[in-house]
Amino acid sequence: MYLTQSLHRAVRQSPDVPFTVFGARTLTSRQTYDAVARLAGGLLGLGVRKDDRVGLLSLNTDRFCQVTLATAWADAAIVPLNTRWSAAEHAYALTDAGTAVLFVDDPFLPMVPELRAKVPGLRTVVHCGEAPTPDGLVPLADLLAAEPVDDVHRQGDEMAGIFYTGGTTGVPKGVMLSHRQLHITALGTLLHTKLPRGGTSVLAAPAFHLAGFAFWIVGMLADMTTVPVALFDPVGILRTVQEHRAKQTLLVPAMIQAVVSHPEAGNYDLSSLELLAYGASPISETLLTRARAAFPSAKFLQVYGMTELSPSTTLLLDADHDDPVLRRSVGQAAPYALVRIVDEKGNEVPPGTVGEIVAKGDHVMLGYWNKPEETAAAVRDGWMHTGDVGTMDERGYVYVVDRLKDMIVSGGENVYSTEVENVVAKHPAVAQVAVIGLPDDRWGERVHAVVTLAPGATLTVEELQAFCRQEIAGYKCPRSLEVVAQFPMSGAGKILKRELRAAAARS
C-alpha cells in the first residue's frame, strides 16, 4: 500500500468525480492526477531526490493534499509542520529533518525570512497559496507547468513522512512512519468500523496532525471526496456539512463542544453525517448527549493512540457509547494491534491493575528521526511504551488514568510541560516553575503555571504569556498563573506535581 494508490484507482474508476473541493475550486481525480504528476516533475527539477525530505507549512487545503501526494510520487518523504508553531520551532524541525525544499501557504509568508536565516540548508521555498508570490520564492504555478513524470510507487516499509511531536526534553521528536504503517491503521479502521463509502469527507482536524492526516487517508481509501477546511470555525463546519451533504468528519472534543454549543447549530441540516470520529480525549456524558442530538444520523467513534502508533491503537465503537461505563474507556485494541498494561519491568498486570499502556503491531513507528537512543527507550521488544497510565478490564477495554510524561492535551493539541517550563524559567521574575494541566470546560485542559518569584519581583499572566509567545506557540503558553511561596518537594528534591494538581482541585 502507498499514499498515491488511491489516486491511481480513482483516476481509472471515477476520473470525473471530484477528488477535492476547496472553496470555489473543485478538482476531479483526473485533474488531481495531472497536478500531482506535474508537481512531482517540478520537485525533481528543484533537485529533490530519493528519500529527501520536503517540508510543508500549510493549512488544510487541496494544495496540502497535492503536495503530499507529489512528494511520495517523486520518491521523497513529507514533513508536515505544525501551523501553530513559532518560527523557531519550525526552524528546529526543518534543520533536524535536513529539509532543503519547503512549501509555504499564505499565512506563513512573514516567517520565510527568519526561516531562511535559521535554516542554512533550506535552498528553495515554494509559495503554494493564492496571494502574490514574494520575490525570492518559487510560485506553485512554476511546478504545475513542469512536465509530468511517472509515479515511482514509493510504498511498503519506505518512509512516507516525518511527523513532529512535542518532546519531553523540550524539543520536538520526528516520528518516522512508513506507507505500510499509515495504511495498516486506515484499512483496519475501515474494516472494523464499517465506515461509509463514497460521498464527502470533511477534513476539519489539522492535517499536519497525524489524526487529521490519517483520517484523510481513510477518506481516500473509502472513495470519498475530500473537503478540506482551512481554519476551524463552528459555523464553517456546520455550513460545510450541510452544503456538501458530508458523510464523515473527525473533530477533537473541544471542537465538538464549540460546534454543538453554537447558537446557530440548530439552523443547519446535519442529517447526512454518518460518522463523527474524535480523539485526543474521551467525551463527557453531557457533551455526548448534546452531540448525538446535533448529529442524529451519525455513529460515534473514539480513536486512541499517538503519532508513534500511526496514530491509533484502540477504537471505541458507536455501540460502546451507549454503555455509561464503557464510554469512559478508549475502547478495545484495533484489529492490527496488541495492547497490554504492564508494570515497571514490562510484565503484564492482571485486569483492573494500573500500569503503563503498551502496544505492538505493524502500526508501531519506524523510530524517531536522528534519535536512536530515544527510539530504543520507547520501543522495547517491539512494544511501544506510550507513557500513558491506565487499566484494562476483562473484555480488553482500556481506561486511561494519567500520563507518565505530564503531557497536557489542550484543544486537541499536545503540550509537554517540560517544554513550557524551559521557556517560563527564562523570565527574569521567575525563580522556579512547574507547569501542569488543569480541567477546562472549553479546552479540555489548560496550561497552568505555578511559580515562585525572584525577590521583589511581580508577574501577571498577561506578562508571562507575552514573554512565552516569543519562543513557543500561543496554545502552549500558560492560560493561568499561580504564585506560591514554595513548592511541595519529594525527598529527591523534585517538585511534586500531583500535589499541585490536588491543591488546584481543592481551590
Query: Per residue in 271-309, pLDDT tens?
Result: 999 999 998 766 777 788 889 999 999 999 999 999 999
Share of the chain above pLDDT 70, in %: 97
Q: Which CATH class is domain 407-506?
A: alpha beta
Pairing type for strands 18-22 and 383-392 reads: unpaired
Q: State the pLDDT at residue 166.
A: 67
Going from N- to C-terminal start, the domains of the chain cover 1-155, 194-297, 300-403, 407-506
**Averaged pLDDT, 44-49:** 98
pLDDT at position 402, please? 66
Using pLDDT thresholds of 50, 70 and 90, give the confidence band for residue 168: very low
Assess whether the region 1-155 and the region 194-297 belong to the same CATH fold.
Answer: yes
Name the grid cell of 390: 491506565
Q: Are 32 and 4 in contact (CB under 8 A)?
A: no
DSSP assignment of 453-482: EPTT----HHHHHHHHTTTS-GGGS-SEEE
Q: What are phi and psi of 195, to 5 degrees?
A: -65, 155
Give CA 256 to chain center in angstroms.
16
The C-alpha angle 240, 244, 248, rounded to 5 degrees, equals 80
Q: From the DSSP assignment, how many helices (H) and strands (E) are in the chain? A: 15, 27
Task: Report which secondary-structure segment, H or E, holds 181.
Answer: helix 179-193
Distance CA 207, CA 209 (A): 5
CATH topology of domain 1-155: Rossmann fold (3.40.50)
Q: Is the confidence at residue 156, as pLDDT, over 90?
A: yes
Q: Are 145 and 117 in contact (CB under 8 A)?
A: no
Q: What is the CATH number of domain 300-403?
A: 2.30.38.10
Task: Please determine, for residue 315, whether its predicted confidence score (pLDDT) is greater than 80.
Answer: yes
- Its CATH class, for the domain covering 194-297, is alpha beta
Nearest partner of 48 among 36, 40, 56, 38, judged by Cα: 40
| Residue-level pLDDT at 435 | 92
Q: What pTM did the predictor assign?
A: 0.85
Question: The dihedral of CA 328, 215, 58, 155: what is its sign?
Answer: positive
Tell me, what's the pLDDT at 404? 67
Q: Which of 9-18, 168-177, 202-211 has the lowest mean pLDDT?
A: 168-177
Of the candidates 416, 433, 370, the residue with the CA atom closest to the CA atom of residue 171: 416
Task: Provide the 10 A C-beta neighbour count for residue 346.
Answer: 14
For residue 348, the Cα-to-chain-centroid distance in whole angstroms is 29
- pLDDT value, residue 489: 75
